Amino acid sequence: MTLSEFFESVSGNNSPSAKLTKPLQALWWDAKGNWHQAHEVCQSAESIEGDWVHAYLHRKEGDRGNASYWYRRAQQPAHQGTLEEEWSQMVEHFLNSAA
């Protein structure tokens, strides 16, 4: 799946594909504007990738302290760019990892 196909699935479906990893499903829900569902899914991932999405979601929420904790768990530096840049970076990374 490409980034553009991922975007298309967000606009054309009511739920993410079960073939997507949990971190990608969480980012899918975030793109739909459902922060709470995205948070639930990334928490259930129990992985470094899920922790990275968790960090992003808390940064988006404005909780920098909690986000910092999750960035450390994810072994990722705290993102300094925009939320949109980080979202795209994660989606591309996870799509490439799944390929």
Quick one: which H or E segment has residue 94? helix 83-98
Residue 84 has pLDDT above 90, yes or no: yes
Residue 98 has pLDDT above 90, yes or no: no
Query: What pLDDT sits at residue 1?
Result: 84
Taking each helix axis from N to C terminus, what angle separates 22-31 and 3-12, rounded to the nearest 10 degrees?
60
In a domain, 19, yes or no: no
In a domain, 42, yes or no: yes
Range of the domain at 79: 27-98
Query: What pLDDT sits at residue 4?
Result: 86
Alpha helices, H only, 3-82: 3-12, 22-31, 35-45, 48-61, 64-74
Residue 99 has pLDDT above 70, yes or no: no
Give Cβ neighbours of residue 88 (< 8 Å, ≥ 6 apart): 3
2-31 average pLDDT score: 92
In a domain, 70, yes or no: yes
In a domain, 7, yes or no: no
Report the number of distinct structural domains present in the chain.
1
Residue 3 has pLDDT above 90, yes or no: no
In a domain, 39, yes or no: yes
In a domain, 88, yes or no: yes
In a domain, 89, yes or no: yes
Instruction: Judge whether 45 and 26 are in contact, CB under 8 Å.
Output: yes
In a domain, 3, yes or no: no
DSSP state of 36: H
